[in-house]
Structure 1
Amino acid sequence: MKLVFKSTLSIALCSLLLAAPTQAKKAEPQTYNIEPVSVATVFKADPSIKLTLEQIMADPDWLGRQPERAFWSADSKTVYYQRKQQGNENRDWFVRPLAGTDNGQLLPLQQAHTMGAANAVYNQDRSLQAYIFADNLFIRDMNKGTLQQLTQDSAKQSSPQFLLDGRLAYRQGWQFFAVNLATGLRSELANLKTEKAPEAPEVAKGYLAQEQHKLITYVALSHKNKLDRHQADIQLQQHNSTLSPQPIYLGKDLQIVEASLSPAADYILLSARKKTKRNDKDIMPNYITANGDVAAQQVRARVNDVSPEPQRLWLIDLSSGERTELSYTTLPGYNEDVLASVKAENAKAKGEKYKSEKVIRDIGLMNDWYWSQGAIRWHASGEQVAVMLKAFDNKDRWLATVDLKKQRLIPQHRLHDTAWVNYAFNDFGWLNNSQALYYLSEESGYAHLYLKSLTGKAKKLTKGTFEVSDPTLTQDDNYIYFKANMAHPGQYEVYRANLTNNAIEQVTHLVGSTDFSLSPDETKLLLRHSTNLLPEELYVADATPAKQVTRLTDTVSEQFKALPLVAPTIVAVKSSHQAQPIFSKVYQAAENTAAKNNVNTNEKRRAVIFNHGAGYLQNSDLGWSGYFREFLFHNLLVQHGYVVMDMDYRASKGYGRDWRAAIYRHMGKPEIDDLADGVDWLVQNANVDRQRIGTYGGSYGGFMTFMALFTQPDLFQAGAALRPVTDWAYYNQPYTSNILNTPSIDPIAFERSSPIYFSQGLTKPLLINAPMVDDNVFFQDSVRLVQRLIEQENPNFEIALYPVEAHGFRQPSSWLDEYRRIFKLFEQNL
């Protein structure tokens, strides 16, 4: 089925593109200059259908079960993807030939190992493919079309890579092996052990021991035999190549973070840190268990209790077994007191003075939870290796190479941020045919793509007020494909940088949100595309600038297609605090629809502002939202006469570094100021009554609800806080320390950012919905706040408990109960 999309664009989006103001960074010119092509997906909606909470909050299978985890076959002629089974959480694999005409066929379980993998690797001439399936190693001959299984055991194989000599290497735990594909011989390359190296039998020490050896022949002979055997083992190891190499002993009480083998199998670059023990206090009670007992489940530590262990970086020469620690002292700023001003402010608050001094900063690999590519990257030749490092105070990121001869780090790029270095936009790699690096950096204020030779200055490949992500290099080094919101902050398309002439070319024109995977033969793109009204489906297109795609899947249910849904309009809300507008979705009924729902459009309306979670998340974009239940709930509210706004307030993703970092050391202030601007917009542009506006949200959105009702009590007339943060000192370390530093260093930031310190400001009805087995935002957060409100004798709150739910609800009954309460709150108070 070929779909040729015409050049049509909604009036609302056109006006938005024309009116979009210049963003904050002066160094970046405005770039809303790409003409998009609209995807015209028309459903046969039934205007008589009335949405119900029972339908919206039911098991989401009724919407259709969309494709997941899609990837290319080795021959670039087929796509594999998963789809949820009806009525349970299991997934099936489907195979969809590009030449097919339907959603493809269910892949039989006995053929599952033949698929390959999304992260499969290839040898230099791409005649062989290797991948892991179910922890075992497979290799495919691309010319013969044959598949061979190399391992079949209970051990866990990982990290396959082809070596320069043609062997296939892989890792098993922290042992590295290589298979000779011609002979089948499996050789151990290295065995990394976090143990103390065994020592030769000791010489007798102390008077009694020495006398024992002198007087008792048996003792002396036994000791001599042990020494002889030890020396014989050493001699055999040195002179017989059939033996495996001696293990590499790193020492006791260490934990390996990452270890990477060079393509020449001559070096390993390794990072390790001191092993830490779990804190027995990090537990969560679970009251609903199968045996009727209360279970104490282990959970993550709080930011207040975590002190990250610095990592040590070692270069290991496999020919000699020699291990050299690489010093961080060559990195610019490695000993700067980057938190001096923060420490001085907190000291002053205590009546003390702070004297800044040089300090050796804790440094390690950039191995954040968000990032899957790995922080160590070898050049294909094996002659160079690059590593991405970060400071654990979150203020610096370094890209460095290793001088293998001098055994030292060579800094190539430093990204310093006075707030925090983003966990996103850290992709990097080598060009294939030259010793040059490409990488992403937010140094200009937006995430852009750079190219750098090892001895020259970096060259910026992209520029403008947009963000670049997912760079993918072609084998010939001619192109780097990437995703960007170049035409509009909420519209994500595929582009490519032509490295031969520095041109930037737009590849897709789909209007919405589009992710991509380049085919193994690099001629096609597998696209995962969605719009506000259409969940993500799979498409394929040529990997060249074009306006034609082929749709591969159609999994949306007829029941969903029949719903008379309101497409949100994206508006640019004028900010009263800075030049950049606040992009927001607005849901409201057209006059003819309002009449059918008995809504009087002349009467001032009531409204709700939804606060998205995560803080750093974009929800006012043109793609399908992960908040699909909320999207449908907002449509239900529209049918009941509400106007709904969904704001990408400051700290949201998609709008550059300054927008992201606006909340540094003061969460809940810039965002609530933006909500106030949203209220003004609703009053001035949507005929909304200022005294009939409520707000709600979950996780970070629940925190936002608290801060709004506590610190600006006249802004909203009611609010619902779901799975909410009340005290940031109780949240996790990786997220919180980025934005607020740590409680021991910056208590000012924690106290002015935590709702529990402002609960006395509550004067309007508040609903708290708290899951009790939430291992992300602990139930303890809600318990502590409730006790504080009780002690303050505040009658304006209610709390609903969800005993079997974690942070993301799973049971339809819980979803229904939660949103019935939210709807009731708004109906009674707005």
Structure 2
Amino acid sequence: MQLKQKAVALMALLMLGAGNLYAQGDKMELSVEKIMRDPKWIGTSPSNVFWSENGKKIYFYWNPNGNPQDSLYSVNADGKNLQKVRAQERRSLPSQRGAYNRAETKKVYEKNGDIFLLDIKSGKTQQVTNTVERESNPGFNQSERKVVYIKDSNLFAWDINSGQTAQLTDFRKGHKPAEEGEDPQRDWLKAQQLALLQIVRDRKEEKDAAEKQAKLEAPDRPKEIYVGEKMVNNVTLGPDERFITYQLISRPKSAKVANVPNFVTESGYTEDISTRTKVGDAQSTYELFVYDTSRDTAYAVKMDEVEGIYEQPAYLMEKEAKASASASAADSKTKKTSPRTTVIYGPYWSDNGKQAVVVARSADNKDRWILKLDPATAKLTLLDRQRDEAWINGPGIGYGPGDIGWMPDNERVWFHSEESGYSHLYALNVNSGNKKALTSGKFEVSDVRMSDDKKYFYFTANKVHPGEQHFYRMPVNGGDMVQLTSMAGAHEVQLSPDEKHLAIRYSYSNKPWELYVMDNKKGAKAKQVTSSLTEEFKSYDWRDPEVITFKAKDGADVYARLYQPEQPQQNGPAVIFVHGAGYLQNAHKWWSTYFREYMFHNFLADQGYTVLDIDYRGSAGYGRDVRTGIYQFMGGKDLSDQVDGANFLVEKYNVDPKRIGIYGGSYGGFITLMAMFTEPDVFAAGAALRSVTDWAHYNHGYTSNILNTPQTDSTAYAKSSPIYYAEGLKGALLICHGMVDTNVHFQDVVRLTQRLIELGKDNWELAVYPVEDHGFTEPASWTDEYKRIFKLFEENLKQKK
């Protein structure tokens, strides 16, 4: 019996995972192999946090036992009764997505391709559809007596009381059959037949009479709308049910999609992965239409008369002015050739259903318009125009319509704008045009939502420090921003349905994300719910990197994370890390998405390196000027910030200027290549991971905003692409790339490899990873890659003994 009990106890310990077997008090010594294991050795943070519809429970995904997959857990609103959710309860939960009625007593949602209606108070669910086809995008009509949804690209309405379903649109692929008078050749033959043959005339009379009778007896059906080969999208029912708006998308037939060969396959054959087009290739076009059911007619919403629609970007006007000495920039600006291509989003109806606005964006992403829409005439009235000669973006703005909604008075809309240089909240009267900034200052506002009683805005802002994110409440017409969270770091907040409690995912620089609960009051204390970390992870004294600033050569403040050895040496080695994505923030006070790199930087500091992690120009969190500082020249200010960071390390932290390395992945890999090719006397060694080598081969959505297109702004691409500068390589270069990278294609480094071979360079190496995409997934790949990076730095940055 004792042996059996011991065996059971041992099995229980093994099931907890190797990380939790680590004895308390034992201090872990870092190594690349330990860092790059399956991340479960750290512990798995809670994710995907959401409230039950009645607000009594918080649900989240978690994996405290190191199982193969996360499981759904729940905890009461007060943080008590933490437990794994049983399968029956999990299956019965409504979808997190859906639409509520105005009183928020009912919710309609899609689950497994069917539509369901939930009564929140009773918890009872009614299934609206049960079909093989998928129904989606459910919502309530203005009277809230019907549920409207999409099926096969058409709009349907289900009457809640009667249970009757009506089809509201009839979109059809292809082209409408030609009617009499539309085809002269066919009309002539038909007339000839009728003139020559009595039997044809008799049968036509019978057919016409039957069709006439059938029309008299037929029920009302929606108008047949033929869309050719275009795709129908965003079908929306207007409040009075007279107007239905929809978008038609045209896919370009001429666009060429790049394929990525996959060499390690189950079949044993090389298989191609279809990925994307390259920047500058033909793009999809979008049109907005209104279907007036009372007139049984459909018509397009046109941007032709909107202010600025013919105004070309500055770089094109400058190019045209140079090409034609007789044409001034002003002439180019006002010359009407054809309107710029745009995408129109919406409409967004006021709560009382009386007014609608749309958001339009130019395809070149230099303009964003907010416009009032008259659906009866399709007339657009300009309310606000945001113009940026670089590109439109920022928190709450993004690359689509951005966040927008109606104020309680049904006269004003709220939205984000970078008009002040930072993304802030504005209110705009759609009748008078009066605009008011509701927030202001050298910080950014994001994740805005209005309280249910429409008295307050809730949002996240980095007002305290660019590297901290706190949750705020503010009166809906502006005023004092009440900071509700207080712990330094970042807070991802979910309000309870009654808005009395907060479910918070919180982290700090050296503390991964955990779940907390808190009352929705200023000064309330947050209570920790989960404890996710293994004893092994906690056994190491993880550094709290100092978030510092240094001056760039143009006077700008640059933020960075600093990791120092416990005993820094005089003229010691240093490594600069370059984060990816470009528009991303990593010099902050919360747990980084680059957690492997964070741990690697602790390891490097243990080995005597000083590490600097820079939020260079182009990074998120610092406003418009930092965001757009790389326009038309990637590898300009974003690279000079790395050089200035290196000089800062030499001047203040006793770093040897001849022993500085640099590394990064994706955009960070690109900057590493530019550094090694164009600043060879600053960086002795560099590791470029999954790096872009030629921006003309990257995608359109990202690249065209920053560099325009290769055929219209070739100089920007030549200035910004490392492959043109490869001759400048002096230091030791390591290139690492996944062979099935569908984002930055392996072709990028293949072309650069050939260039380096032709230049006769011999101080570089290429490591390839046959089964890895852009983001590595296999611990063995991570380990191999970072062992090579560490070896590169050890061999080139450490003093030879």
TM-score under structure 2 length normalisation: 0.90
Quick one: distance in 2 between partners of 1:521 and 1:190? 37
1:401 aligns with 2:372: yes
* Residue aligning to 2:389: 418
User: Could you give the per-residue CA deviations for residues 470-528 of structure 1, whole angstroms, max 9, x where no partner exists?
Assistant: 11011322111111100111101011221256322212112111122222222222222
Shift of 1:602: 4.1
1:183-198 mapped onto 2 (5 Å cutoff): 183-198=162-177
1:259-278 mapped onto 2 (5 Å cutoff): 259-277=235-253
Q: Secondary structure at the match of 1:763?
A: coil
User: Could you give the per-residue CA deviations for residues 183-206 of structure 1, whole angstroms, max 9, x where no partner exists?
Assistant: 222222223334323455789946
* Residue aligning to 1:515: 492
Change (3 A) 1:160 1:208: closer
* Residue aligning to 1:164: 142
1:541 aligns with 2:518: yes
1:826 aligns with 2:800: no
1:680-759 mapped onto 2 (5 Å cutoff): 680-759=647-726
Of 208, 212, 224, the match for 2:193: 212
Question: Contact 1:650 / 1:659 at 8 angstroms: preserved in 2?
Answer: yes
**Which amino acid in 2 is paired with 1:179?**
W
Quick one: distance in 2 between partners of 1:111 and 1:653? 40
**Which amino acid in 2 is paired with 1:577?**
D
Quick one: distance in 2 between partners of 1:259 and 1:89? 41
1:325 aligns with 2:300: yes
Quick one: distance in 2 between partners of 1:704 and 1:501? 41
Of 418, 424, 444, the match for 1:448: 424
User: Could you give the per-residue CA deviations for residues 646-694 of structure 1, whole angstroms, max 9, x where no partner exists?
Assistant: 0001100000000011110011110111111111221122221111110
Shift of 1:439: 0.3
* Residue aligning to 2:96: 118
Quick one: distance in 1 between partners of 2:602 and 2:24? 14
Quick one: distance in 1 between partners of 2:78 and 2:453? 28
1:334 aligns with 2:313: no
Change (3 A) 1:389 1:574: same
Of 251, 257, 265, the match for 1:289: 265
User: Could you give the per-residue CA deviations for residues 249-275 of structure 1, whole angstroms, max 9, x where no partner exists?
Assistant: 143122234332224433222222323
Change (3 A) 1:194 1:331: farther
Shift of 1:450: 0.4
Of 631, 649, 665, the match for 1:664: 631
Question: Where does the alignment leave 5 or more consecutive residues of structure 1 unmatched?
Answer: 1-42, 367-373, 592-600
**Which amino acid in 1 is paired with 2:49?**
A
* Residue aligning to 1:25: none
Shift of 1:174: 1.5
* Residue aligning to 1:149: 127
1:240-259 mapped onto 2 (5 Å cutoff): 240=219, 243=220, 245-259=221-235
Comparing 498-507 with 687-696, which one deviates more in the overlay?
498-507
Change (3 A) 1:503 1:221: farther
Quick one: distance in 2 between partners of 1:317 and 1:206? 31
Change (3 A) 1:199 1:210: closer
Quick one: distance in 1 between partners of 2:210 and 2:69? 56
* Residue aligning to 1:529: 506
Change (3 A) 1:346 1:797: farther
Quick one: distance in 2 between partners of 1:351 and 1:320? 52
Change (3 A) 1:535 1:220: farther
Question: Contact 2:113 / 2:133 at 8 angstroms: preserved in 1?
Answer: yes
Q: Secondary structure at the match of 1:195?
A: coil
User: Could you give the per-residue CA deviations for residues 539-576 of structure 1, whole angstroms, max 9, x where no partner exists?
Assistant: 22233323312323222223222222111111111222
Of structures 1 and 2, the one with the larger relative CO (CA 8 A, separation 6+) is 1
1:378-397 mapped onto 2 (5 Å cutoff): 378-397=349-368
1:564-579 mapped onto 2 (5 Å cutoff): 564-578=541-555
* Residue aligning to 1:813: 780
Change (3 A) 1:602 1:55: closer
Shift of 1:292: 0.6
User: Could you give the per-residue CA deviations for residues 316-358 of structure 1, whole angstroms, max 9, x where no partner exists?
Assistant: 223333212122134220111224x445348859999897233
Q: Secondary structure at the match of 1:715?
A: coil
Quick one: distance in 2 between partners of 1:774 and 1:639? 33
Change (3 A) 1:280 1:453: closer
Of 462, 467, 488, the match for 1:490: 467
1:473 aligns with 2:450: yes
Question: Contact 1:285 / 1:296 at 8 angstroms: preserved in 2?
Answer: yes
Quick one: distance in 2 between partners of 1:273 and 1:471? 29
Change (3 A) 1:344 1:280: closer
* Residue aligning to 1:344: 318
User: Could you give the per-residue CA deviations for residues 746-768 of structure 1, whole angstroms, max 9, x where no partner exists?
Assistant: 00100000011111110111000
Question: Contact 2:146 / 2:160 at 8 angstroms: preserved in 1?
Answer: yes
Q: Secondary structure at the match of 2:369?
A: strand
1:621-700 mapped onto 2 (5 Å cutoff): 621-700=588-667
Question: Contact 1:195 / 1:253 at 8 angstroms: preserved in 2?
Answer: yes
Question: Contact 2:231 / 2:250 at 8 angstroms: preserved in 1?
Answer: yes
Q: Secondary structure at the match of 1:784?
A: helix
Change (3 A) 1:173 1:66: farther
Question: Where does the alignment leave 5 or more consecutive residues of structure 2 unmatched?
Answer: 1-21, 398-402
Q: Secondary structure at the match of 2:413?
A: strand
Quick one: distance in 1 between partners of 2:130 and 2:92? 15
Quick one: distance in 2 between partners of 1:554 and 1:346? 62
Quick one: distance in 1 between partners of 2:724 and 2:317? 21
Q: Percent identity?
A: 36
Quick one: distance in 2 between partners of 1:788 and 1:343? 35
Question: Contact 1:310 / 1:362 at 8 angstroms: preserved in 2?
Answer: no
* Residue aligning to 1:615: 582
User: Could you give the per-residue CA deviations for residues 1-48 of structure 1, whole angstroms, max 9, x where no partner exists?
Assistant: xxxxxxxxxxxxxxxxxxxxxxxxxxxxxxxxxxxxxxxxxx998573
* Residue aligning to 1:595: none
**Which amino acid in 1 is paired with 2:458?**
Y
1:39-58 mapped onto 2 (5 Å cutoff): 48-58=27-37
